[in-house]
Amino acid sequence: MNRVDDKIIEAENLVYSYNLDREEEMRALDGVNLSIARGEFVVIIGRNGSGKSTLAKHLNALFLPTSGTVRVNGMDTQDPRHLWRIRQTVGMVFQNPDNQIVSTTVEEDVAFGPENLGIPPDEIRRRVDLALEWVGMSEHMRHAPHLLSGGQKQRVAIAGVLAMRPKCIVLDEPTAMLDPSGRREVLDTVKRLNKEDGITVVLITHFMNEAALGDRVVVMDAGKIVMDDVPRKVFSQVEVVRRLHLDVPQVTRLAHELGKCGVSIPRDVLTVEEFADALCGLCSKSAVASCRE
């Protein structure tokens, strides 16, 4: 259990309703309770309409609760006095990087956020250089963003957020529009920022192999959190996850199917390497048993 002062984000009884008309409303979030510790890598998954993107937009006060509370670094998102500091604490990266790129060169784009914060020019230069180095885009600093690949554009968008020095980054399906190479570029960047620089990461994704990378997986359905645990425990419950109209990592699904056929592969494997090790161990046991016979 995390101590209170370790929590960077807390949501308590969070409700968010869309007004469909004067007499009807729809609850996109229905009594959500969630806490995220500093330095955690939390992945949020759920089918379309489950409320995960709506929840993400509450984490830096893009949306405000209909009822309940969201606190960022102890600051209530509904208190307008805290809005500026909350937006500096939690940075957002969206699905389409083109929606976040506003300048004609990469370095100008990354500098845009710090300039709007009133940061002195020398400090902006330092932040831009460092942010581009963090995401591996220093050699492209004078390139036009529209000439970059999708993965490179998304890394520039992440650098633009990093230049504002957030303590937490929320990424709302940042790899959905990318090819496998672009997804790998972005995920490698996100993992490095979390593990090496201690930045808290909240990743919303439809890709279960990405979800397996987190410290925790939060599963949403119908505006509620229905599962919240380490990836190994969440995805080992294959039938439960499937009933929520989701899938599990491919190797976990394969282990589950083999298990139903009597093959004793651990049901909680998450990676190809783990599956291969388990399979090799199974073959070794079979070889030993054959020799004894």
Where in the chain does DSSP place strands (E)?
7-19, 25-37, 41-45, 67-72, 75-76, 90-93, 168-172, 200-204, 216-221, 224-229
Q: Output the pLDDT for position 178.
A: 84
- 46-65 pLDDT, tens digit per residue, is 999 999 999 999 999 999 99
State which H helix or E strand residue 145 sits in.
Answer: none
- 146-157 pLDDT, tens digit per residue, is 899 988 998 999
Alpha helices per DSSP H over 49-162: 52-58, 83-89, 106-116, 121-134, 150-162
Give domain limits for the chain: 4-248, 249-293
CATH 3.40.50.300 describes domain 4-248 = yes
Encoded amino acid at 124, one letter: I
Average pLDDT, whole number, for the chain?
Answer: 87
> In 3D, which of 211, 149, 148 has the Cα closest to residue 179?
149
- 187-237 pLDDT, tens digit per residue, is 988 898 899 889 999 999 999 989 999 999 999 999 999 999 999 999 989
